[in-house]
Amino acid sequence: MGTNSIATSIMLKAGANEGATGENAIVYSASNVDIILGSIEIICANSLLGELTPLMARSVAESSAKKILPPLNRLNITFAGVEKKALPHYIDDAIELFPLHKGIFLSLAQRQDLAGKYRIIS
């Protein structure tokens, strides 16, 4: 799911199985997915330079889906107890956490294969 058509297009080109854009797509999908993957900004109203509406943030935050939210942000939020890392390291951490919501421990290749079997908002 993308907040705009460019974001959605990039995700589809990167291999996403499906894509949709905008507030209604994100609000609807948040209640119909197993995992939500994105920066911490996706649960903060008016983040992403104002593209993420309060309804979108609330829908993601209140979703029963497992949320993997690396602490990347352009907001004025400081995370206590979180090691500051470069983006690639946070992505590696997120990949490591991905299968753990079901108690599954897999190799990277197996996790990437598994990712295609879940409905994920990213």
For the chain, the structural domain boundaries read 5-121
For 7, the token pair is 């974001």
Q: What pLDDT, on the 0 to 100 scale, is given for residue 117? A: 52
Q: What pLDDT, on the 0 to 100 scale, is given for residue 122? A: 47
Given a contact cutoff of 8 angstroms between Cβ atoms, the answer to whether 89 and 36 are in contact is: no
Which region among 4-8, 20-24, 65-69, 112-116 has the lowest average model confidence (pLDDT)? 112-116
- The residue with greater pLDDT, 121 or 80, is 80
- The residue with greater pLDDT, 53 or 87, is 53
Given a contact cutoff of 8 angstroms between Cβ atoms, the answer to whether 122 and 11 are in contact is: yes
Closest-CA residue to 69 (of 12, 120, 110): 120
Closest-CA residue to 97 (of 41, 36, 56): 36
Q: What pLDDT, on the 0 to 100 scale, is given for residue 105? A: 47
Residue 58 has pLDDT above 90, yes or no: yes
Distance CA 47, CA 115 (A): 26
Q: Mean pLDDT of all residues in the chain?
A: 79
Q: What pLDDT, on the 0 to 100 scale, is given for residue 113? A: 57
Distance CA 96, CA 20 (A): 26
Give residue 108's pLDDT band: very low, low, confident or very high (50, 70, 90). Answer: low
Residue 106 has pLDDT above 60, yes or no: no
By percentage, how much of the chain surpasses pLDDT 90?
A: 18
